[in-house]
């Protein structure tokens, strides 16, 4: 392949510049791997969601996503990207790792003619050195009449890697000059501003966009109704987050958290055998995955010891034995033995029975906060089988007493999981996510989408909606 190009280069200068190009291309792969390794968002994830929502109306059938990165914009897509790291993190099943620049050296896309119903290229165009050979291949693998969506933020991108303009206006002119009927469509982002635009091109060359006027009108209506459009994005998000947050029942998520749970279970059995109390170990939902992300991080679950034997040992003995066990299993545990006020199941039962009395709950004296201590526990992640048993019992005790028990648990749960739910959206390896957090903040001042961490807070209104709907 390279010989072809070198033979074609007839002067020594050409050969040298070709060798430099090869070196640069090697660097580009490494550069994108590096950027992909921390799921760098290129542009904010909120914008990605809006683009995906926009595309969900446009696309039908099989899509080819060029330069997919780690983000799945449309589920029925095949991803092509130069970066194995990016592709590893992409949720799509069908992924091809290749450098699109190789197409110029007679290495085609590995697809049959007329395979795809559409092609998307989100924030990729500006990085391509040789656009024409790529477009020739896209024409070959797309079905006649397929549309290519070249979507870009205006003048956005990684400056050092850019080879051409990212302005949609320039791209559109370029595409027209190459013989593709093209038009600009605006994707409303915020406040109706036309920050992201799609250059929509009909393939193959020379084929006209028959419904151009219809598309122009529809896009104008969309831009005029941007608030409604963004509401649509929000409710779509609500559905996704809702689905994910119910999916959290699938916890544990990471290999480390699975190993950790096994360790907790062994610790719990030993604890019961040695100390004679049932250890109830649980966490606020957010913690297991966040704190278990790295084996060296501190894990801080709550431990409630429920007394089963009346002739229980002294606290001192329990403390020593507990410390020994925790050292043996290398566990850090917060010990809240009086979390429920009484440390045995009968005590808890009594407390629930008496809960009609206004003074029942001295932790949460407010009338509307009644049962909150228990609801907090029910919404927490249970880390051992004793906690599961208690959950079942406690739920059974509370159900006849608390009319809106399920929605209150769901509400407590929602507030616990908002961050986790958000992170699971694109199935990121949470282990790696936080591990790199510091690195990103330290090294990457040039990052456009640093607000990834702020995104957690964006999830709150959605979860609020879910919660309110269920109340
Ligand atoms: C700015 S990112 C956009 C990623 C994704 N489309 C998105 O919306 O999040 C650009 C992507 O293009 C890929 N890319 C850049 N040059 C490429 C090339 N020559 N061949 C294949 N992929 C390339 C990069 O690896 C990166 O994933």
- CB 431 less than 6 A from any atom of ligand 1: no
Higher pLDDT residue, 467 or 285? 285
- CB 152 less than 6 A from any atom of ligand 1: no
User: Ligand 1 center to residue 186 CA distance, Å?
Assistant: 21
Q: What is the pLDDT of residues 45-67, one digit of tens each?
A: 778 888 998 999 999 999 999 99
Q: What is the pLDDT of residues 291-318, one digit of tens each?
A: 443 333 444 567 777 754 444 555 556 7
User: Ligand 1 center to residue 52 CA distance, Å?
Assistant: 16
Which residue has its alpha carbon closest to ligand 1 atom 17?
A: 82
Which fold does the domain 2-224 belong to in CATH? Rossmann fold (3.40.50)
Q: Where do the domains of the chain lie?
A: 2-224, 249-470
**How confident is the prediction for the chain on average, in pLDDT?**
74
User: Ligand 1 center to residue 89 CA distance, Å?
Assistant: 13
**Ligand 1, pocket-test mutation among 80, 85, 127, most atoms within 8 A of CB:** 127
User: Ligand 1 center to residue 199 CA distance, Å?
Assistant: 17
Q: What would the two tokens of residue 373 be?
A: 């201590």
- CB 100 less than 6 A from any atom of ligand 1: yes
Using CA atoms, how far apart are residues 46 and 256, in angstroms rounded to an integer? 29
Strands 94-97 and 77-81: parallel
Using CA atoms, how far apart are residues 420 and 407, in angstroms rounded to an integer? 20
Q: What is the pLDDT of residues 160-197, one digit of tens each?
A: 888 999 999 999 999 999 999 999 999 988 654 557 99
Higher pLDDT residue, 249 or 30? 30
74-88, 152-166, 243-257: least confidently modelled range = 243-257
- CB 150 less than 6 A from any atom of ligand 1: no
How would DSSP label each residue in 315-384?
A: HHHHHHHHHHHHHHHT---EE-TTTTSSSSHHHHHHHHHGGGSTTS-SS--SGGGTTHHHHHHHHSEE-S
- Ligand 1 nearest-atom number relative to CA 65: 6
Q: What is the pTM of this model?
A: 0.62
């Amino acid at each position: 392949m390279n010989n072809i190009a070198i033979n074609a280069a007839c002067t020594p200068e050409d050969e040298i510049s070709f060798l430099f190009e090869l070196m640069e291309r090697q660097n580009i792969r490494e550069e994108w791997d590096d950027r992909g390794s921390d799921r760098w968002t290129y542009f904010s994830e909120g914008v990605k969601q809006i683009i995906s929502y926009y595309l969900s109306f446009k696309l039908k059938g099989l899509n080819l996503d060029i330069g997919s990165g780690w983000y799945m914009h449309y589920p029925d897509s095949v991803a092509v990207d130069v970066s194995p790291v990016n592709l590893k993190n992409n949720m799509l099943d069908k992924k091809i790792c290749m450098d699109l620049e190789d197409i110029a050296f007679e290495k085609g896309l590995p697809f049959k003619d007329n395979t795809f119903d559409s092609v998307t290229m989100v924030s990729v165009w500006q990085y391509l050195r040789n656009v024409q050979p790529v477009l020739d291949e896209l024409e070959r693998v797309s079905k006649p009449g397929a549309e290519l969506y070249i979507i870009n933020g205006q003048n956005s991108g990684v400056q050092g890697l850019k080879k051409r303009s990212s302005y949609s206006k320039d791209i559109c002119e370029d595409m027209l000059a190459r013989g593709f009927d093209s038009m600009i469509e605006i994707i409303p982002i915020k406040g109706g501003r036309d920050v992201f635009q799609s250059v929509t091109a009909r393939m193959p060359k020379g084929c006209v966009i028959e419904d151009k006027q219809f598309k122009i009108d529809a896009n104008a209506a969309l831009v005029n109704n941007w608030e409604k459009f963004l509401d649509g994005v929000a409710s779509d998000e609500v559905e996704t987050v809702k689905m994910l947050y119910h999916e959290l029942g699938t916890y544990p998520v990471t290999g480390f958290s699975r190993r950790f749970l096994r360790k907790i279970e062994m610790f719990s059995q030993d604890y019961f055998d040695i100390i004679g109390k049932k250890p109830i170990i649980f966490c606020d939902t957010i913690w297991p995955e966040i704190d278990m992300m790295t084996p060296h991080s501190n894990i801080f679950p709550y431990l409630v010891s429920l007394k089963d034997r009346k002739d229980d040992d002294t606290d001192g003995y329990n403390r020593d034995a507990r410390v020994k066990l925790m050292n043996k299993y290398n566990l850090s545990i917060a010990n809240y033995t009086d979390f429920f006020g009484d440390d045995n199941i009968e005590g808890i039962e009594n407390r629930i029975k008496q809960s009609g009395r206004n003074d029942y709950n001295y932790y949460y004296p407010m009338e509307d906060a009644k049962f909150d201590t228990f609801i907090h526990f029910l919404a927490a992640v249970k880390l051992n089988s004793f906690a599961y048993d208690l959950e079942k019992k406690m739920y059974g005790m509370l159900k006849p007493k608390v009319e809106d028990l399920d929605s209150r648990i769901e509400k407590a749960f929602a507030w616990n999981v908002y961050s986790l739910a958000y992170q699971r959206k694109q199935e990121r390896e949470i282990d790696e996510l936080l591990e790199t957090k510091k690195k990103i903040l330290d090294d990457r001042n040039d990052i456009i989408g640093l607000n990834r961490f702020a995104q957690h807070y964006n999830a709150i209104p959605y979860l609020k909606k879910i919660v309110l709907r269920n109340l």
